[in-house]
Amino acid sequence: METMKRDYYEVLGVNRDASDEEIKKAYRRCAMQYHPDRNPDNKEAEDRFKECSEAYEILSDSEKKRLYDSYGHEGIRQSFGQNGFSWDDFHHYNDFSDIFENLGDIFGLGSIFGGTNSQRETQGRDLLYNLDLTLKQAYTGVEQKIEITRNETCDNCKGSGAKTGTSRKVCPTCRGTGQQRFQRGFFTYAQTCSHCKGQGSIISQPCETCKGAGLVPKKKTLSVKVPAGIDNGNRLKLRGEGEGGKNGYPSGDLYVSIRIKDHPLFQRDGADLYCDIPISFVQAALGAEIEVPTLDENAKLKIPSGTQSHTILTLKAKGMPDLRYSRKGDLHVRVILQVPKKLSGKQKELLNEYAKLSQEDTNPSASKSFFDKIRDVFSE
């Protein structure tokens, strides 16, 4: 009598409207928990592993999933052999590079299904260089010279690592594959060949210049064109300016990471700039037109009469160039009321007169002072 199968969504613990990514993550959790190598001699765990793999085989295939959603297990019966699901029916081995990304580390093995922990050396390594710029340089754009030290292809052996007149030989251990394979349960594992270190070939007589490495360190000066509006953390890619490749393979790339120094006046937020500018009581009360600095040239800013301290006024298109939209951001100016620390006798006399005039203009019966209002709040 055939055993009643569980609902595939229940097996993986996901809702029926789960996305492909949610289904994959659920399978990964299930498979990692019940994998036979983590549960040796545990028939129940092995059955659960097979059960969740069967569920993933159906739910990760759009057509099989459609049939299952419409007709249940009967709808996908023909997908398997007469005896039901077997590993010959599992067609998602390529997904294991994602699903079991750390499985080799867990069991002290290489990757499963033919992968290796380290790919065979082909293209040269990519490099990273940190370039420090001022905000002004980021505003205008700049062409900057940088000096790097990188491993380049050895001119003597042309990157082979072998002595002139000799050549590399196929590794007798892995026969050129760079991998050693072995069977464990129903999985085939592969790990980097211990003899050739994954290169697939060995050197009997190493090059005298590079000692068999195929690469030699060299200094090089490069010119980097930085576009106007570059932001902190942006990267520029210089194709082919990384480390040289071995055995005639192309060089890697150089990534230039931008680091912008703090500016004493301006703070940046994307394409917008912010700054604080002091103004006097007279300018705030009567209004004025003042000059404010920008990263280009000074600009006129109108202060409306009655402006309060810490009010933010905006100068359009006086910020940073925007790389995405070919426009400039804005400059936001926060005006700070500056109180003079020293007053002349005449200034004090005029201010006292102003205070008297202000008191005379105040009608106590019409409005309460600020402190009266505060007193009322705390007395409630």
As a whole number of angstroms, the distance between CA 319 and CA 321 comes to 7
148 close to 127: Cβ distance less than 8 angstroms: yes
Q: Could you give the residue ranges of the DSSP H alpha helices within 194-299?
A: 281-286
Condensed to tens digits (0 to 9), the pLDDT of residues 119-132 reads 345 688 999 999 99
148: nearest Cα among 235, 226, 254: 254
CATH number belonging to domain 8-101: 1.10.287.110
Report, in angstroms and rounded to the nearest whole number, the Rg of the chain calculated over CA atoms: 36
221 close to 146: Cβ distance less than 8 angstroms: yes
Side-chain half-sphere exposure of 269, counting CA atoms within 13 A:
7
The C-alpha torsion from 146 through 149 and 153 to 155, rounded to 10°, is 90
356: nearest Cα among 366, 348, 346, 368: 348
C-alpha angle with apex 317: 314 to 322, nearest 5 degrees?
A: 125
Element holding 22 (H helix, E strand): helix 20-34
Neighbours of 311 (CB within 10 A): 16
Burial of 198 (0-12, 13-18, 19+ CB in 10 A): buried
Tell me the backbone φ, ψ of residue 141, rounded to 5 degrees. Answer: 85, 155
Condensed to tens digits (0 to 9), the pLDDT of residues 18-66 reads 998 899 889 888 888 887 767 777 888 888 888 888 889 889 888 888 8
User: And the tokens for 59?
Assistant: 């739910």
| SS3 state of residue 57 | helix
**In tens digits, what is the pLDDT along the chain, a chain of 380 residues?**
445 778 999 999 999 999 988 998 898 888 888 877 677 778 888 888 888 888 898 898 888 888 888 888 877 777 665 666 665 556 554 455 455 544 443 344 343 344 433 334 568 899 999 999 999 999 999 999 999 999 998 988 888 888 988 888 888 888 888 888 766 555 566 788 888 877 788 888 999 999 888 899 999 999 999 999 999 999 999 999 999 887 778 899 999 999 999 999 999 999 999 999 999 999 999 999 999 999 999 999 999 999 999 999 999 999 999 988 889 999 999 999 998 888 899 988 888 888 888 764 434 444 455 556 555 655 55
Packing angle, helices 62-71 and 43-59, rounded to 10: 100
Condensed to tens digits (0 to 9), the pLDDT of residues 63-113 reads 888 888 888 887 777 766 566 666 555 655 445 545 554 444 334 434 334
Give whole-number Cα distances, 269 to 235, 257, 278, in Å. 18, 18, 21
244 close to 215: Cβ distance less than 8 angstroms: yes
Q: Which fold, 127-260?
A: Chaperone, DNAj Protein; Chain A (2.10.230)
As a whole number of angstroms, the distance between CA 230 and CA 320 comes to 9
Q: Which fold, 267-337?
A: HSP40/DNAj peptide-binding domain (2.60.260)
pLDDT of res. 110? 40
Q: Could you give the residue ranges of the DSSP H alpha helices within 35-176?
A: 43-59, 62-71, 96-99, 103-107, 135-140
Q: pTM to 2 decimals?
A: 0.58
- The residue assigned the tokens 């890697």 is 252
